[in-house]
Amino acid sequence: SASTGYIPRRVIGRYRMKHSLSRFTRCSSSAQGKEIPRYSYFEAAMEAGRITLEDFKEQLDIFDNSGGLMGLMDRLPAMKEQINDDNVMDTESRIARYRTFINEAEAAERSNISLLVSDESARERRFRIALYTGHKPDEVEEFCSNFTAAVNSFKIDRDENMPEPIDKVIPLVMASTAYWHPDKITDVPVKNDYEATKLKKKMKKQKKNIEKRGPKKGFG
């Protein structure tokens, strides 16, 4: 109540969600003009729950171009103890399957995942993708469900009733191109020695924090 200074949790959640949507709107308009790094856009989109299949396709490209899982291990050395060759092969196989599904999806579906999940025609849409990609409808449905769960898992005002994604590669790719983006946790050109020293300390602290919250072993 107002007399006790208590703010209901739902009010705080609404405020944080409003802030994240506002940030996403600013980043979206700025990103079109190349004024901000793409990882900033992805962070804002993920926190607002607005990541689309089109965005994820770009994240897959960034993930592959930055060395894939091996490149991520170079950026986060602590992950090396949690990952083996089977994980690497499994990740590459899953990413190839994701690309196949996304490439076959229509533009409207890539912009709105609900068309493949909760829309009245979702089943027929998934069947079409399965038919033209040579996969089973259940595999397409599983991907869409895991993608939706991954989007929810990063959302500030997340749905607590929605389970975590079983397929851990999807959120791993999302996080690696936002919070663990190569440009965000590696050194960048600086103007002088003072800035270099200051930046080095900041990067070291940031990298240490990132390594501590690295993903758990296994990809589901």
Condensed to tens digits (0 to 9), the pLDDT of residues 14-34 reads 434 444 445 445 455 555 555
Q: How confident is the model at residue 51 (pLDDT cuts 50, 70, 90)?
A: very high
Average pLDDT taken over every residue of the chain: 76
Tell me the C-alpha distance between 141 and 117, whole Å.
8
pLDDT tens digits for range 155-196: 988 899 999 999 889 998 999 888 887 777 654 333 344 444
Q: b/e map of 123-136 (b: 16 or more CB within 10 Å)?
A: eebbebbbeebebe
pLDDT of residue 199: 54
The CA distance from 203 to 209, in Å, is: 10
Above 70 in pLDDT, residue 219?
A: no
pLDDT of residue 119: 85
Whether this prediction's pTM lies above 0.85 is answered by no
Share of the chain above pLDDT 70, in %: 64
